[in-house]
Structure formats: structure tokens, C-alpha cells
Amino acid sequence: MSTATTPGRVTTPSRDRPRRRLDWRLRFATLSLIWGFSFLLIKVGTDGYAPFHVTLGRLVFGTAVLAGAMAARRERLPRGARTWGHLTVAAFLLNALPFSLFAYAELTIPSTLAGICNATSPLWGMALSLVALSEDRPTRVRVAGLGLGFLGVLTVLGAWQGFQGLDATGTALALLASLSYPVGWIYVRRTLAGTSHSHLSMTGAQLLLATAQLAVVTPMFTALPTTLSVGPLLAIAALGALGTGLAVLLQYGLVAEVGPTTAQMVTYFIPVIATAAGVALLGESLTWSTPAGALIVLTGAALTQVRPKPRA
């Protein structure tokens, strides 16, 4: 979710630019809906299967979509041991780890809370970039946004009530998943920026590696399912094919057409859609602090993305 599956700062060759078929606003809205509903699909998937099964299935279906896109565009997987080594780390930080953490988190927390935790990713990213990226300088507005965002997190969690009725483990897993994304982005920016390989080729290899990682880990910790649950299986298939495969293709098309800043704004719509879907379709409860805190989080996240204007 939320630009999580892609090395967003890798230079894109011109051949990656898609033909304009639908207005970018329609594709933006579609991507927001897909990622917003992903948390509901995770919840439904974990009703019938173990979290590692949900994550593995998601990656299998997502990789299949990208493999089909690569075949249609006659793209090849990247070459070079160094590239594959860095992609292995990126696959773990941007796919295998956060996908698994969110699946385990939603065993004990509602999908609405998971979606809001996902919105904290820009806050973690700003905090980490100040330490890891020397060219990313803090400003008063961005620091204020960081503080405001984490105040929103405390509001969502009901800190003044002593976090009553909140599963601490599940919430911590969801927040750790959102932290994994910017760690992965920073790693990709430092190791794979400027590569000559296309975005589609790099992401296809990344998802393939993440699938292999889960294929190794899953049998070690989870037994094979004894029954076939059709509804959860369909949710996992939609989560992978739409929420991982198609979403990545839509995201790259938007970045190529309208730029990364506009495309990244999809992050601010995801928790709204996730909350609406969880309440309307899953009957999850909603208190005033959840939407109020989410609004504070999104405002803070938006402020952290404000860049200082270059001096004349």
C-alpha cells in the first residue's frame, strides 16, 4: 500500500511512459480505491488463512500480473549480481516484511486502524531522512508537521484514556510495517538510484524475490491449510492482482505523467477509504478519536512533504 511496493526514486527510462488511455484523475481515483480496500481484503483473507498464507498468495498473484505486463512489453529481468543483491533487500523491506506485519496485525486490530497506521509512513520517512539523507534538510514547517502527525497517532490510539481497548501488539506490528516502507525507500535511493533498468523490470524482479522469500519462510512457521475457504481466497487473489500488481502499474503510470509529488498524494486518501470500507462492509466500530486523529495525522504528513522554495 501507499507506494510501498516500488523503488520510487529510481530513474525511469522514457520507454516506461505509458500511452494515455484514461484521464490521470480516473487512474488516481482507481489507485486510491484499490489501496484503500486492501486493508479490508487483508482482514477477509486472514479470516480463512494464516497471515503468511495471505502474504504469500498476495505476492504470487501480484508477481503474475507484473510477469504478464513484462511479457506484453517484452521486458527482461535486470542483470548483475549487485543489482539482484540490492533488490533482495528491497523486496524484504518493501514487500515481504510490511505485507506480513499488516496481515498479522489485522488478526487483532480492525482494518480501519491498520489503514490509519499506514498513513504514518511519511512521518517515519521524514524522521529517518533527516538522519540518513544529508541533502534532506529540516525546516520549521516540516518539523512541525512531524510533531503534529505523531500527536494525531496518539489521538487515534486514545492516549488520554491509557490506550484502553487497544491491542498493543497488533498496533505495534502495523506501525512497524509503516516504518518498514521508508527504510526500504531510503535503501533503494542509496543503492539503486540511476539504474538503467526499467521500473517494470526492477519491480517484477523485486516481487519475484519477495515471493521466493515468503515461499521459504511460510512452511517453516505455518502448516498447510486443511480447508479451502473460497471467500478469503478470492480476497487474497484480489489483494495480489489488484492491490499489488495492477496498483504498481497504475502508480508508475501516474508518476510518469504527473510526477511523483502529485502521485504520492494518493497516500492521503487511503486511510479515508480504508475507514469507510471497514465501517460500512465489516461493521467495525468507530469513535470520534479515530477520524479526528486520522485528520491530524494526514495534516502532519502533508506538512512533512512541504519543500523549501529554492533561492533565486
pLDDT, tens only, 244-264: 999 999 988 888 788 776 777
Q: Tell me, yes or no, whether 16 lies in a domain.
A: no
Task: Find out whether 38 and 269 touch, Cβ atoms under 8 Å.
Answer: no
Residue 121: pLDDT band with limits 50, 70, 90:
confident
Instruction: Phi first, then psi: give them for residue 309, nearest 5 degrees.
Output: -70, 135
Query: Is 252 inside a domain boundary?
Result: yes
Q: Is residue 85 in some structural domain?
A: yes
Q: Kindly state whether residue 15 falls inside one of the protein's structural domains.
A: no
Length of the chain counted residue by residue: 312
126 occurs within a structural domain: yes
pLDDT tens digits along 135-183: 566 678 878 888 888 888 888 877 666 566 678 899 999 999 999 999 9
Q: Indicate the SS3 state at residue 137.
A: coil
Within-domain flag for 5: no
Residue 1 has pLDDT above 80, yes or no: no
Find, among 256, 255, 244, 252, the residue nearest to 208 by Cα. Answer: 244
Q: Which domain holds residue 290?
A: 24-305
- In a domain? residue 235: yes
Give the count of domains, the chain: 1
Most confident of 41-55, 153-167, 189-203, 265-279: 41-55
Q: Do the Cβ atoms of 111 and 43 come closer than 8 Å?
A: yes
Cell of 99: 505485507
In a domain, 186, yes or no: yes
Q: What is the pTM of this model?
A: 0.86
Specify the residue for cell string 489483494: 239
- pLDDT of residue 17 exceeding 90, the answer is no
Alpha helical stretches, state H, 134-198? 140-157, 168-191
Q: Convert the pLDDT of each residue in 23-36 to its tens digit.
A: 888 998 999 999 99
